[in-house]
Amino acid sequence: MKTANWIRLISYGLILIPIQVLVINNLELNRYMFPQIYILLLLTLPVNIQHWVSYLIAFVIGFTVDMFTYTPGLHAFTCVSVVFLRYVYFNNFVDKEWLSTGISPDFNTTDGIWLVVYVSIYSLFFHFILLTLENFSFIHYGITLLKILYSSSLAIFLILLLLFTFRARTSDER
């Protein structure tokens, strides 16, 4: 990973994790919405990053959120699971030439529809694991499914809004 990518990851992490922990987790939206936007840090990792580095980054991000939310290991496990699914997807369904470029998925480097599907799949997967493990019961699983649907929908919207807002402008757009 290049030095610029490390600086971007650390600076975004220093912004997104406090926003997640201090603001979004304390919002009273309704009883079904608990969006987790810090997964943006995991989704925008370069596609050719080494496995162990991405697992370590995911664990550190999840552990940091766990420390502030008093959920021991829940976010760390979910983040590592998302990175694992990301590698399964990239190794099986993505062109190997594209993987060798080392780009980070965002609106400047990928197709917009692909990015929306990519963010949607991983946000749904992340919220599914997180909220299923958090409730750890099948008694009221209908409510858990509503939480997964509403939380991931709001997270998808916010993540795409952040990606679109903070994208680098090209010379044609200026």
**pLDDT tens-digit series, residues 11-67:** 888 888 999 899 988 887 788 888 899 999 998 888 888 889 999 999 999 999 999
Question: Between 32 and 100, where is the model more confident?
Answer: 32
CA distance 151 to 34: 5
Segments making up each domain of the chain, as ranges: 3-165
Q: Which residues contact 133 (CB under 8 A, 6 or more apart)?
A: 74, 77, 78
Instruction: Kindly write down the DSSP assignment for every residue of 105-165, as one continuous string.
Output: PSTTTS-HHHHHHHHHHHHHHHHHHHHHHHH--STTHHHHHHHHHHHHHHHHHHHHHHHHH
Place of tokens 């963010």: 119
pLDDT band (50, 70, 90) for residue 81: very high
Query: For the chain, what percent of residues have pLDDT higher than 90?
Result: 37
Would you call 174 helix, strand, or coil by DSSP? coil
What's the whole-model pTM score?
0.87
